[in-house]
């Protein structure tokens, strides 16, 4: 068995990239990555899971590859093994996007069959006699992407790999070739449809800055275009801004490639067209399961409810007397109206990192982030991610008990009281009223004596009307009187004029 193991490792070390992909695809492992990664992956299979079927497949691939250079009459398996490839240099700091094929694999390799006495196991023993003795390479930090609540990663088809320009042109193209395994194809085909033509299990492309200091959010490079096989894939456009002087923003989110891919064993070719303007970007391919806002809400209701007693203790802590404060807080008001939609709360929630007691509605918050993910608290405008959300059990209980108020007040002892809106009081204007009699046209005297009773006609009391406007005839008469006064040489006192139907001038 040990001899077969060494022989299998020798064969694997002589494989090209296409041979390694064929071997890894046979056992359902990932076929993407650099050649030294494929070799390491294949050696792990030989070391820890070398079944008779796997060993037979390795011999079959090896015989197919080197049958042409075997001597006449000599069985292919008896031919001396070609030497393993030389030690791979560590990848440089900047690598182009590596597809699952190696362009250099087309170069003809020269076998060392003229030196049959060479002892390959002893020469390359550090590679063949156990993976633990592989040379230690410096560990380079990998680019990590932030976790998206609406996407659950099932498989990593291509880990985040840096986009590196191949020339001095501003517009660059980076290809990637890979094939889905039968299990992955089955997952996609059997998944439910979120909407016509869009399935819940998807192959998505994510792009971010090449920064290893912390998990990165999705960020598109300039002039991005994605081509899958022979068709271009739609990329989210820009959102117009309502604020003057603010440039429109582009919602950077995973790009769904599933509808343009071959759902079979055929290879898929993805070409990323991007603008090279100095910043470094990395791309990754993932098999994900997309969830909806209703599913996230149900999950939050299952595991994210905070007990009412814990919420009550939080209220007491908020209202606890601070010895350094000169003002004692006796209560804090909390609105039962959602600040997002101005409607009564149904599922009150907030982030555990928020310092306020005010809640917003989880239903509308999740729906809003499903359309345009920002994950910002509408109360304090600070990050409120899905993992930080919790449902306020105390306020949920209050909403059921208090149905006739839109606001409550928490007290120091943790209790609460409803605050009902006060009705606005209507006040009559405090100004003198001129009352004109319907029949005589007289007014009330200075002492406030009531005017004479109005006459009754047909059983109805006629309404008294005060004319506060001046018509053109009255203004003309006044002008004539003023002219007469000017000619006469003395001012003339104005006398209120009486008009028909009991109307009097307010001048």
Residue 409 included in any domain: yes
Output the CA–CA distances (angstroms, integers) from residue 166 to 171, 178, 272, 419, in the order listed. Answer: 10, 21, 13, 68
pLDDT of residue 137: 47
Residue 467 included in any domain: no
pLDDT of residue 115: 37
pLDDT of residue 293: 94
Residue 121 included in any domain: no
CATH number of the domain enclosing 64: 1.10.720.30
pLDDT of residue 23: 84
CATH number of the domain enclosing 404: 3.30.40.10
Residue 492 included in any domain: no
DSSP structure string for 203-259: EEEEEEE---SSPBPB-PPTT-EEEETTEEEP---PBPPSSTT---B----PEE-GG
pLDDT of residue 465: 52
Choosing from 68, 93, 114, the residue where a domain stops is 68
pLDDT of residue 153: 93
Residues 160 and 278 in one domain: yes
Give the integer Cα–Cα distance in Å for 439 and 485.
33
- Which residue stretches of the chain have pLDDT < 70? 1-2, 49-50, 66-140, 241, 321-329, 421-507
Q: Is the dihedral of CA 6, 11, 12, 14 positive or negative?
A: positive
Start-to-end CA span in the chain (Å): 122
Which helix (H) or strand (E) covers residue 287, if one does?
A: strand 281-290
pLDDT in tens, 73-100: 444 444 445 554 444 444 433 334 444 4
Give the integer Cα–Cα distance in Å for 35 and 158.
14
Domain that holds residue 204: 151-238+251-291
Query: Rg (Cα) of the chain, in Å, rounded?
Result: 42
pLDDT of residue 8: 82
Give the integer Cα–Cα distance in Å for 248 and 225.
19
Give the integer Cα–Cα distance in Å for 495 and 243.
61
Give the integer Cα–Cα distance in Å for 254 and 369.
14
The total of structural domains in the chain comes to 3
Bridge partners for 498 per DSSP: 504
- Burial of 401 from C-beta contacts in 10 A (0-12 / 13-18 / 19+): exposed
Choosing from 68, 96, 126, the residue where a domain stops is 68
């Amino acid at each position: 068995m040990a001899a077969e193991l060494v022989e299998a490792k020798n064969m694997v070390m002589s494989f090209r990239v296409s041979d390694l992909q064929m071997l890894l695809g046979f056992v359902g492992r990932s076929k993407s990555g650099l050649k030294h990664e494929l070799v390491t992956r294949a050696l792990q299979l030989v070391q820890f899971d070398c079944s008779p079927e796997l060993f037979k497949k390795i011999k079959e691939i090896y015989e197919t590859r080197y049958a042409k250079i075997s001597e006449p009459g000599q069985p292919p398996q008896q031919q001396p093994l070609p030497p393993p490839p030389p030690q791979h240099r560590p990848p440089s700091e900047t690598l182009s996007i590596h597809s699952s094929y190696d362009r250099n694999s087309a170069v003809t390799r020269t076998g060392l069959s003229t030196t049959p006495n060479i002892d390959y196991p002893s020469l390359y023993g550090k590679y063949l006699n156990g993976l633990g003795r592989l040379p230690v390479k410096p560990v380079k930090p990998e680019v990590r992407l932030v976790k998206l609540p609406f996407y659950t990663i099932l498989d990593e088809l291509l880990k985040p790999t840096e986009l590196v320009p191949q020339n001095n042109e501003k517009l660059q193209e980076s290809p990637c070739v890979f094939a889905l395994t039968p299990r992955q194809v089955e997952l996609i085909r059997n998944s439910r449809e979120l909407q016509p033509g869009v399935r819940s299990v998807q192959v998505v492309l994510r792009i971010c800055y090449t920064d290893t200091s912390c998990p990165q959010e999705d960020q598109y490079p300039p002039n991005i275009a994605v081509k899958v096989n022979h068709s271009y894939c739609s990329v989210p456009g820009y959102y117009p801004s309502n604020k003057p002087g603010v440039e429109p923003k582009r919602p950077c989110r995973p790009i769904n490639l599933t509808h343009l891919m071959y759902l079979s064993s055929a290879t898929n070719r993805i070409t990323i067209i991007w603008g090279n303007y100095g910043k470094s970007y990395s791309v990754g391919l993932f098999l994900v399961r997309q969830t909806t806002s209703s599913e996230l809400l149900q999950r939050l209701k299952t595991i994210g409810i905070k007990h009412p007693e814990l919420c009550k203790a939080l209220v007491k802590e908020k209202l606890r007397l601070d010895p350094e404060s000169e003002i004692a807080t006796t209560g804090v008001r909390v609105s039962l109206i959602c600040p997002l939609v101005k409607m009564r709360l149904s599922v009150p929630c907030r982030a555990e990192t928020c310092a306020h007691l005010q809640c917003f509605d989880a239903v509308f918050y999740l729906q809003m982030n499903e359309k345009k993910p920002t994950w910002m608290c509408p109360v304090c405008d600070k990050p409120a991610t899905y993992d930080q959300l919790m449902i306020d059990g105390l306020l949920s209980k209050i909403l059921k008990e208090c149905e006739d108020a839109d606001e409550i007040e928490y007290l120091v002892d943790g209790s609460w009281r409803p605050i009902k809106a006060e009705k606005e009081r209507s006040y009559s204007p405090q100004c003198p009223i001129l009352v004109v009699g319907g029949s005589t046209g007289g007014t009330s005297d200075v002492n406030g004596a009531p005017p004479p009773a109005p006459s009754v006609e047909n059983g109805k009391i006629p309404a008294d009307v005060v004319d506060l406007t001046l018509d053109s005839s009255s203004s003309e008469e006044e002008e004539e009187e003023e002219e007469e006064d000017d000619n006469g040489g003395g001012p003339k006192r104005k006398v209120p004029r009486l008009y028909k139907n009991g109307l009097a001038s307010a001048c």
